[in-house]
Amino acid sequence: MGALCGLAPFNRDSGAMRGKRRIKGGRAPIRTMLYMAMMSAIQCNPVMKKFFNRLVAEGKHKKVALTACMRKMITILNAMVRDGQPWKTA
């Protein structure tokens, strides 16, 4: 699902060379909507705020941590739709 939204990390490896992982492709309007939703979520949602702050404390760049939060949100939303359950913080 992350690849459809343009949030899946793709490697740029060739032989013994290990390149950087970058997101690419997918649907840009969905990625834009998720970006804005996550900007709000890392301020107001305790689950996403904790996850974001932990990633930044571990040394991730803020944009990388934000992208990881966006992927986490997609995973949570897919599970909510699959199970027919509302959002639960705990």
State the average pLDDT over residues 33-61: 92
Cα separation, 6 vs 9, whole angstroms: 8
Range scoring the smallest mean pLDDT among 10-14, 37-41, 56-60, 67-71: 10-14
Q: Residue 71: which of 46, 89, 48, 88 has the closest Cα?
A: 48
| Count of other CB atoms within 10 angstroms of residue 32 | 11
Show the tokens assigned to 4. 């459809």
> Does the pLDDT at position 6 exceed 80?
no
Tokens of 37: 């939703």
**Segments making up each domain of the chain, as ranges:** 1-10+28-90
Under 8 Å between Cβ of 19 and 12: yes
Each residue's pLDDT tens digit, 8-45 = 665 666 667 676 766 666 677 888 888 899 999 999 99
Work out the pLDDT band at 3, boundaries 50, 70, 90: low
Q: Tokens 């690419």 correspond to what residue? A: 24
